[in-house]
Amino acid sequence: MAKYIDTHVHFYDEWFGQDYRDEIGRSLSAGVEIMVQPDVDSSERDRMFAISEEYPGTLYTMLGLYPGSVNEDWEKEIEALDDWWDKGPVAIGEIGLDYHYGKETAELQKLAFACQLRMAASRDLPVNIHLREATEDFFKVLDSCPALPPRGCLHAFSGTAETFRRLQKYGEWYVGIGGVLTFKNSRLPEAVAAIPIERILLETDSPYLAPVPFRGQRNSSANIPVIAEALARIKGIDIEQVAEVTTANATKFFNL
Ligand SMILES: [Zn+2]
């Protein structure tokens, strides 16, 4: 059976409640052998690490402050990360910029983002990026960084092939591709067709963004093969090959 890695899943989200164990079981049965949980902020961190620790070698964790959680207390939130480094996070994430709900915190978001990019560079950790309606500022922050992380991934990628090409001068960058690839009227297939599969990571962003035919329902890592199937069709290769390449990509990205 094909083996997969889900590079972005929030099993600690309240939408899962105690069902996360069932969903992890279903995901393992579907061939998803490794699942990586991105961090959001200090409010759910205990639960995130507790769930990961139930599944050593299966669940891995990232550490970081999500742009939607940035406010005047951002420096305190960054300091709070210090209590968790010895848990062995495999990346800093999800971090970045999100102006979808307005730009009131834009300046603080940029400061928190730049600070965490420096942290990733000094700790030699990859970054998992949440970017929404802030592409130009994202590149400006990267330009302002004296040192960049070894690898980066634009999670829930929604940009164009041109955005991906622009990224290449900043080091080894990947895109995280999930359920949106299966949405009707999505422009993502066009971009994905032009991005080499060696730079694609599969992800669900569960419990959100369930692929068709489960759109709107609670998503789970068990749906990774649905996304792999869509990617196989776009690339004109078989699903086993998608599994093999994207699993190798994720293993290298997170240094698993
Ligand atoms: Zn997420």
At residue 138, the pLDDT reads 98
Using one digit for the tens of pLDDT, what is the confidence trace for 37-95?
A: 999 999 999 999 999 999 999 999 999 999 999 999 999 999 999 999 999 999 999 99
Report the mean per-residue pLDDT for the chain: 97
- Distance between Cα 171 and ligand 1 center (Å): 23
- Distance between Cα 245 and ligand 1 center (Å): 23
Using one digit for the tens of pLDDT, what is the confidence trace for 87-134?
A: 999 999 999 999 999 999 999 999 999 999 999 999 999 999 999 999
At residue 41, the pLDDT reads 97
At residue 99, the pLDDT reads 98
- Distance between Cα 170 and ligand 1 center (Å): 23
This prediction has a pTM of: 0.97
Q: In this structure, what token pair is assigned to residue 146?
A: 């004296």
- What are the residues whose beta carbon lies below 5 Å from ligand 1 (ion)? 205
Task: List C-alpha distances in Å: 40 to 6, 33, 77, 147.
Answer: 17, 23, 10, 24
Tell me: pLDDT of 1 over 90.
no
Task: List C-alpha distances in Å: 251 to 53, 91, 97, 112, 243.
Answer: 19, 12, 26, 27, 12
Beta-carbon neighbour count of residue 123 at 10 Å? 13
Domains in the chain (CATH in brackets) are 4-254 (3.20.20.140)
Phi, psi for 246 (deg, rounded to 5): -70, -30
- Residue 218: DSSP 8-state: P
- Distance between Cα 154 and ligand 1 center (Å): 11
